[in-house]
Structure 1
Amino acid sequence: MRLGDFFMPEFLHEMATTRKILDAIPEEHFDYKSNEKAMSLGALANHIAEIPTWIPAAFLHSELDFSTANYVPKDFKKVSELLSFFDSNVNEATQLLKEVSNETLNEEWTLRNGSAIYFTMPKSAVYRSFVMNHLIHHRGQLSAYLRALGAKVPGMYGPSADEQTA
Structure 2
Amino acid sequence: MHTSSLQQNILAELDHELATTRKLLERVPYEQADFTPHPKSMKLWQLATHVVNLLAFNQLFVQHASRDFLDPNGPKPGPTPTSSEELLQRFDQYGASLRQALQDSDDEKLTDSFRLHRGEQTLMERPKGAAIRIMGLNHSIHHRGQLSVYLRLLDIPLPGMYGPSADDPSWGM
Q: TM-score range by the shorter chain?
A: over 0.9
3-state SS of 2:46 partner: helix
User: Aligned partners of 2:78 and 2:104: how far apart in 1?
Assistant: 28
| TM superposition shift of 1:72 | 4.9
Map Cα deviations across residues 87-111 of structure 1 (whole Å, 9 max, x no partner): 0011011112222111211111111
Q: Which residue of 2 aligns with 1:130?
A: 135
- What is the identity, as a one-letter code, of the residue corresponding to 1:46? T
Q: Which residue of 2 aligns with 1:118?
A: 123
Question: Do residues 30 (structure 1) and 33 (structure 2) align?
Answer: yes
Contact 1:48–1:139 (CA under 8 A) maintained in structure 2 = yes
Contact 2:159–2:167 (CA under 8 A) maintained in structure 1 = yes
| TM superposition shift of 1:70 | 5.4
| TM superposition shift of 1:5 | 1.2
Shift in alpha-carbon separation, 1:96–1:156, aligned structure 2, 3 A: same
Q: Which residue of 2 aligns with 1:46?
A: 49
Contact 1:56–1:93 (CA under 8 A) maintained in structure 2 = yes
Match runs of 1:13-162 below 5 Å: 13-68=16-71, 69=74, 71-72=76-77, 74-162=79-167
User: Aligned partners of 2:142 and 2:75: how far apart in 1?
Assistant: 25
Question: How does the TM-score come out when normalised to structure 1?
Answer: 0.94
Contact 2:36–2:43 (CA under 8 A) maintained in structure 1 = yes
- What is the identity, as a one-letter code, of the residue corresponding to 1:82? L
Identity %: 36
RMSD of aligned alpha carbons? 1.4
Question: What is the number of equivalent residue pairs in this alignment?
Answer: 166
Structure 1: give runs of 5+ residues left out of the alignment. none
